[in-house]
């Protein structure tokens, strides 16, 4: 699974001009399931995100997690994170999970986030929708992460 995390002062996602989800301080999570991803990769990714110390403490050091600060999570599906731009000028998205599997894993991540992140709210976009994402990146802090399936 791939995610791009952005530490935000606030963020919202709109669909057809209507707010679908919004948070104040917290993390905007752009999430993409790739082929061969399972719940195991989703669990690892979410566990890491919830403990990642990227919020400032009293001394201004990045020493607190989203859970420590009671921040929100805004989880938005974004299959374009799987773009392959290695040849030609048009990206290929063949490494992204098929739509049904991508939706299933996205829904799983959201459900797990709601179960585990009790310190703050969890909001979402809508899988497969044309969305407009508005955010105020705090820092700026933007962190790409990828959890690949284990090779057997």
Proportion of the chain above pLDDT 70, given as a percent:
99
Instruction: Give the mean pLDDT of 39-47.
Output: 97
Say which CATH architecture domain 2-82+92-146 belongs to: 3-Layer(bba) Sandwich (3.50)
**Alpha carbons within 13 A on the beta-carbon side of 34:** 18
Q: Which of 80, 94, 118, 132 is catalytic?
A: 80
**Residue 147 phi, psi dihedral angles, 5° rounding:** -115, 110
Report pLDDT for 54: 98
> Could you report the per-residue pLDDT of 76-105, keeping only the tens digit for each?
999 999 999 999 999 999 999 999 999 999
pLDDT band at 151 (very low <50, low <70, confident <90, very high): low
CA nearest 3: which of 98, 55, 67, 77?
A: 77
Reply yes or no on whether 95 is catalytic: no
CA 80, CA 63: separation in Å to the nearest integer?
A: 31
On the question of pLDDT at 11 being above 90, the answer is yes
Reply yes or no on whether 79 is catalytic: yes
Report pLDDT for 150: 72
Instruction: Give the mean pLDDT of 19-25.
Output: 98
Reply yes or no on whether 124 is catalytic: no
On the question of pLDDT at 32 being above 90, the answer is yes
Q: Where are the domains of the chain?
A: 2-82+92-146
Report pLDDT for 152: 58
């Amino acid at each position: 699974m791939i995610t791009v995390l952005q530490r935000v002062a606030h963020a919202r996602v709109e669909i057809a001009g209507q707010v679908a989800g919004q948070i104040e301080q917290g993390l905007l999570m752009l999430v993409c399931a790739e082929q061969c991803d399972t719940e195991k990769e989703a669990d690892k990714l979410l566990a890491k995100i919830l403990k990642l110390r990227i919020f400032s403490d009293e001394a201004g050091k990045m020493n607190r997690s989203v859970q420590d600060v009671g921040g929100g999570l805004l989880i938005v599906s974004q299959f374009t994170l799987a773009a392959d731009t290695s040849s030609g000028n048009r990206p290929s998205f063949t490494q992204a999970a098929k739509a049904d599997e991508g939706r299933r894993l996205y829904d799983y991540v959201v459900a797990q986030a709601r179960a585990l992140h009790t310190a703050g709210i969890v909001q979402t976009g809508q899988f497969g929708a044309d969305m407009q994402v508005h955010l105020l990146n705090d820092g700026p802090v933007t962190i790409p992460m990828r959890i690949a399936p284990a090779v057997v």
